[in-house]
């Protein structure tokens, strides 16, 4: 079976953009900001509706008005990644955190993209940067664990999944990934414990993994 963990999380940021100005002479700037907000918000709507090309177009419009709109770069990167255009996604994530160095989620998603490209060390570096910004970012620990697992570093991966679950005990993704890491270590009882936790939280396990675990462990559940 391929050493492939569950897919990581991606979150589209929805940010309410304030249109407050201190001077009446800023009317043109206010109008431009209103236009940028309109396109940005419509891009978010298109994203949720799965209309990806329209979303890219609308996230591009605010950047023509304000080239330092970090969230528009980030969200456009998310859409590019959904379309499988990984280089464009990475470019937008990079631009997003260059403008806003505290945007940890941009490091997370660029790390995810590196992982998809098989560049696991670069992915781990980006997850580390996200954790420097927010040491309690459970998803960053989970995703770093996935990159470690892809490298065959199962003990390091399990340590990361443990940390993710200490922060968020309801993170089914981390239980599922830790269950896979235990499977690869041939610790099948621990693997089953985690798989059962995922199912108790209401999530499904890929049937092919369940078949492999049953065969290897001689257990049904």
Predicted TM-score (pTM) of the model is 0.85
- Structure tokens, 220: 């049904």
Judge residue 59's burial from the number of C-beta atoms within 10 Å of its C-beta, 0-12 exposed, 13-18 middle, 19 or more buried: buried
Residue 68 vs residues 12, 25, 95, 99: alpha-carbon distances, Å: 18, 22, 9, 6
73 neighbors 92 (Cβ within 8 angstroms): yes
Per-residue confidence of the chain (221 residues) as pLDDT tens digits?
Answer: 444 445 444 444 433 344 433 444 455 556 667 888 899 999 999 999 999 999 999 999 999 999 999 999 999 999 999 999 999 999 999 999 999 999 999 999 999 999 999 999 999 999 999 999 999 999 999 999 999 999 999 999 999 999 999 999 999 999 999 999 999 999 999 999 999 999 999 999 999 999 999 999 999 99
We find that the CATH architecture of domain 31-101 is: Alpha Horseshoe (1.25)
161 neighbors 142 (Cβ within 8 angstroms): yes
DSSP letters, 58-72, are: HHHHHHHH-TT-HHH
Domain boundaries, given as residue ranges, for the chain = 31-101
């Amino acid at each position: 079976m391929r050493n492939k963990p569950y897919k990581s999380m991606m979150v589209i940021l929805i940010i309410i953009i304030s249109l407050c100005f201190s001077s009446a002479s800023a009317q043109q700037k206010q109008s431009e900001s209103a236009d940028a907000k309109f396109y940005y918000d419509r891009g978010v709507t298109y994203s949720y509706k799965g209309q990806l090309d329209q979303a890219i177009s609308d996230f591009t419009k605010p950047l023509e008005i304000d080239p330092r709109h970090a969230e528009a770069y980030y969200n456009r990167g998310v859409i590019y990644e959904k379309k499988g255009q990984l280089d464009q996604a990475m470019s937008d994530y990079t631009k997003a955190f260059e403008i806003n160095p505290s945007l940890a989620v941009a490091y997370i998603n660029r790390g995810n993209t590196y992982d998809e490209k098989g560049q696991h060390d670069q992915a781990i570096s980006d997850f580390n940067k996200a954790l420097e910004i927010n040491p309690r970012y459970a998803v960053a620990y989970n995703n770093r664990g996935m990159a470690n697992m892809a490298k065959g570093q199962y003990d390091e991966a399990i340590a990361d999944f443990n940390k993710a679950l200490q922060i968020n005990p309801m993170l089914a993704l981390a239980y599922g990934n830790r269950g896979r890491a235990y499977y690869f270590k041939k610790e099948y009882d621990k693997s089953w414990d985690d798989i059962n936790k995922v199912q108790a939280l209401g999530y499904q396990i890929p049937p092919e993994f369940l078949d492999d675990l049953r065969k290897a462990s001689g257990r049904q559940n």
